[in-house]
A = this chain, B = another copy of it.
Amino acid sequence: MDFQLNCPIPISEYPVITMAHGSGGRLSHQLIDKMFVPTFSSEQLSAGHDGAVFSAGSGNLAFTTDSFVVKPIFFPGGNIGDLAVNGTVNDLACCGARPEYLSVGMILEEGLPMDELWKIVLTMKQAADMAGVQIVTGDTKVVDRGSGDKIFINTTGIGRVKQGVSIDPSSCKPGDIVILSGYIGDHGVAIMSAREGIEFETGIESDSAPLNGLVEEILEASNNISVLRDPTRGGVATTLNEISRSSGAGIVLDETSIPVRQEVQGACEVLGLDAMYIANEGKLLVIVKEEDSEKVLEAMKNHPLGTHSAIIGKLTEDHPSIVRMTTSIGSSRIIDMLTGEQLPRIC
């Protein structure tokens, strides 16, 4: 292969990787959409899901990967271990799959205290048990001090797609309803509060949790689900932008309906952040046909991880591929994709 092939990203403009390339926002999308997807070119990658689905025997399997580089590795409500298990469990659940098998790839930095590793390993086992998934294969590498940061964990998962389920963002249509499973921003604020140098105490814990049980209730309640997504990096705003762009439909949100804890709102004001862009690790966005929306909302509210679920908006033909929010004072503003990076190493 000719390495002189033009790089699809203009090198004069973007000569090096920056933190923003890992933000989940605009530069992350540029890297994925211009470099990775066209070069690796496969049907599944082009679909732009969080996971790949392929047929195996009589059904379909879902396959998804995630690396975790969160800093610090221990934070209120969890650590990198349960985050790594839940993150991949949730991506499988969002493919409409029942998570079955996980691989674990660890990159350890020389000097990592053995007892910290042990705590993380125990937490991973506990999270795997809670989600009903088995860890079946793994790999461990060690890098010299200063070439890593304590521990990075890759989890890759395989799940079986529920018979008859097809989650397809391209089936979104104007009129569809957007439901969110609960309070936004908890994970990001918990990480911020745990970081050195950030001097505030919120009492907020990460919402890290396995969503597969909640997803099962939703799929039981309705066959009319177009999208299931967990709004992690880039937050609810970025995930809704991705859905809006891939479906071509506009989305209109009602600010007053979006559940945000007062402490999270307060922390965001202090830090100059917007909760709509902050990562969540145990929340679900659902897009469902209007006729099934109340049924689905009801099912979600009956699940422990969805008690604060709310309808937060709907799809519209008024402004294709654009997300707008009607604010509490009645005005309307565009909610764009995250530009640059707001909170690095959040997951």
- Of listed A7, A16, A119, residue having the most chain B CB within 10 A: A16
CA distance A240 to B22 in the complex (A): 41
State how many angstroms separate the Cβ of A79 from the closest Cβ of chain B: 10
| Number of identical protomers | 2
- Known contacts: A107-B152, A156-B156. The answer to whether A45 contacts B135 by CB under 8 A is yes
The A101-118 residues at the B interface (CB cut-off 8 A) are 101, 103-115, 117-118
State how many angstroms separate the Cβ of A43 from the closest Cβ of chain B: 8
**CB closest residue in chain B, given A65:** B103
B54 near A140 with CB under 8 A, answer no
B112 near A17 with CB under 8 A, answer yes
- Of listed A50, A105, A136, residue having the most chain B CB within 10 A: A136
In the complex, chain B residues whose CB is within 8 Å of the CB of A18: 110, 142
A337 on the B face (CB < 8 A)? no
The A46-78 residues at the B interface (CB cut-off 8 A) are 49-52, 54, 56-59, 61, 63-69, 71
A238 on the B face (CB < 8 A)? no
- Known contacts: A51-B137, A118-B7, A118-B35. The answer to whether A103 contacts B21 by CB under 8 A is no
A148 on the B face (CB < 8 A)? yes
* Size class of the A contact interface (CB-based, 8 Å): 35 or more
B22 near A143 with CB under 8 A, answer yes
Name the contact of A152 in the complex, choosing from B32, B44, B152 (C-beta under 8 A).
B152
Q: What would be 30 A-B contacts, judged by CB atoms less than 8 Å apart?
A: A1-B125, A15-B114, A16-B111, A16-B114, A20-B142, A22-B141, A32-B138, A36-B140, A40-B104, A40-B138, A41-B125, A44-B137, A45-B136, A52-B101, A52-B136, A56-B57, A61-B158, A65-B103, A65-B139, A67-B105, A69-B143, A105-B105, A105-B156, A107-B107, A139-B154, A144-B345, A147-B148, A147-B345, A152-B152, A154-B154
**Besides A40-B135, A49-B137, 7 other CB < 8 A contacts?**
A16-B114, A22-B141, A39-B125, A65-B139, A68-B141, A143-B345, A148-B152
